[in-house]
Amino acid sequence: MKRILSSEITSESNYRNRRQFIRDAGLAIGGGALASALPLVAAAEGRDLATVPGPHSTDETPNSWTDVTTYNNFYEFGTGKEDPYRNAGDFVTAPWSVKISGECDKPGTHALEDIMAPHTLEDRVYRHRCVEAWSMVVPWVGFPLGDLLKRFAPNSNAKFVRFKTLYDPKQMPGQRRAILDWPYVEGLTIAEAMHPLTLMVVGVFGKELPNQNGAPLRLVVPWKYGFKGIKSIVEIEFTRRQPRTSWELSAPHEYGFYANVNPEVDHPRWSQARERRIGAGLFASKQPTLMFNGYADEVAELYAGLDLRKNY
Ligand code: MTE
């Protein structure tokens, strides 16, 4: 497939037009308290990435650049939703390397360029659902995680994959406080990690990933709650046992390992049945949450025989 610079075909504005994107007009009048509480400074846009349209995209209208880049969780830069946008600007993401270890025949440490080099970058628009009952639609740029993992030849003991974020309290002020057991750790079963929907993400809207969104490399698992999407990854380990993840360690009754979007299992402190779409305006009604975030046809078979009430 011919690689095309996204600036040739998908500048941010064209990208939006292609999907009849009209939310920018709506933001001024309907963006609600979230947007209007911010200064009207858009987060800086990075370099264009060479992409091709990827499979599996939703037809739903993407959220705006402002929604996607100013309303996040990235506790290394603070616990407020705008903190990552405000505090991650100077975070240094180059040079960057990723260590691959554990149950595989070809472990090693690779520069980001080497991690990315053989892959064609795909634009994929995914629903993004947070455990706090809000959602967005985000045009990610990335490549299937499984394609990357296969290069390291995982062996038959590799039942899970464990991911780790950079630990650097000098750059990440949140790590100077015991908010979580740092560094941030997440995990997937090997089948989840190999599923073609699971992405290693390096960009949004055809641009390099802004720091607050997890630059330079992060995970996106579209049928799971957003907290599985670990940011700024420096280590990937193939393991025999299910990894202990940061949120499980911090609040095991609230955040399980599987974290599949499931409207039938309430979070102990709130319902998961309905969700608020960020940017839809103060008067927009909440919408029903879909099982597996709407990706049930693709992923339900991964959990055949598993009690999804117990394995939340
Ligand atoms: N990754 C790291 N390293 N630290 C974090 O605090 N927060 C998670 C996830 N990844 C987090 C993280 C949570 S709770 C969510 S909802 C998503 O990032 C939110 O960011 P996004 O909208 O850019 O995916």
Token digits for 311?
Answer: 């394995």
d(CA 105, CA 182): 28
pLDDT digits (tens, 9 = 90+) for 11-56: 444 444 443 333 333 333 333 444 445 554 667 788 999 999 998 8
CB of 74 sitting under 6 A from ligand 1: yes
* Closest of 103, 91, 61, 67 to residue 278, by C-alpha: 67
Are 87 and 77 a contacting pair, CB within 8 Å?
yes
CB of 73 sitting under 6 A from ligand 1: yes
d(CA 147, CA 22): 35
CB of 226 sitting under 6 A from ligand 1: yes
- Asked whether residue 147 carries a pLDDT value surpassing 90, the answer given is yes
Name the DSSP letter for residue 184. Answer: P
CB of 67 sitting under 6 A from ligand 1: no
- Output the residue whose Cα is nearest ligand 1's atom 22: 72
pLDDT: is 37 or 171 the higher one?
A: 171
Does 43 fall in a domain?
yes
Are 271 and 278 a contacting pair, CB within 8 Å?
no
For the chain, count helices (H), then strands (E): 11, 14
> Strand 218-220 and strand 199-204: pairing?
antiparallel
Q: What is the pLDDT of residue 133?
A: 92
Does 160 fall in a domain?
yes
Sign of CA dihedral 295, 154, 121, 77: positive
State the total domains in the chain.
1
- pLDDT grade, residue 109 (50/70/90)? very high
Helices (H), the chain: 6-9, 12-18, 23-30, 32-36, 65-70, 83-87, 112-116, 145-150, 190-194, 246-250, 296-299
CATH number reported for the structural domain that contains residue 86 in this entry: 3.90.420.10
Closest ligand 1 atom, CA of 212?
23
**Secondary structure, 3-state, 97-117:** EEEEEECECCCEEEEHHHHHC
Does 126 fall in a domain?
yes
pTM of the model: 0.89
CB of 187 sitting under 6 A from ligand 1: no
Does 199 fall in a domain?
yes
- Asked whether residue 89 carries a pLDDT value surpassing 50, the answer given is yes
User: Percent of the chain scored above 90 by pLDDT?
Assistant: 82
Closest ligand 1 atom, CA of 214?
23
Residue for token digits 């039938």?
A: 264
Among 34, 72, 234, the mutation site with the greatest number of ligand 1 atoms within 8 A of its Cβ is 72
| Residue 86 domain boundaries | 35-303
Closest ligand 1 atom, CA of 184?
3
Does 310 fall in a domain?
no
Residue for token digits 């933001």?
A: 27
CB of 75 sitting under 6 A from ligand 1: yes
Radius of gyration of the chain (CA): 19
Q: What is the pLDDT of residue 45?
A: 82
d(CA 4, CA 50): 5
Does 13 fall in a domain?
no
Does 39 fall in a domain?
yes
Tell me the mean pLDDT in the region 213-229. Answer: 98
d(CA 230, CA 218): 6
Would you call 263 exposed, middle or buried from its count of C-beta atoms within 10 A (0-12, 13-18, 19+)? Answer: middle
CA of 137 to the centre of ligand 1 (A): 15
CB of 58 sitting under 6 A from ligand 1: no
Tell me the mean pLDDT in the region 61-69. Answer: 96
CB of 260 sitting under 6 A from ligand 1: no
Question: In what helix (H) or strand (E) does residue 193 lie, and over which residues does it extend?
Answer: helix 190-194
Would you call 40 exposed, middle or buried from its count of C-beta atoms within 10 A (0-12, 13-18, 19+)? Answer: exposed
CB of 227 sitting under 6 A from ligand 1: yes
CA of 66 to the centre of ligand 1 (A): 17
Does 9 fall in a domain?
no
Tell me the mean pLDDT in the region 272-286. Answer: 91
- Output the residue whose Cα is nearest ligand 1's atom 12: 230
pLDDT digits (tens, 9 = 90+) for 95-106: 999 999 999 999
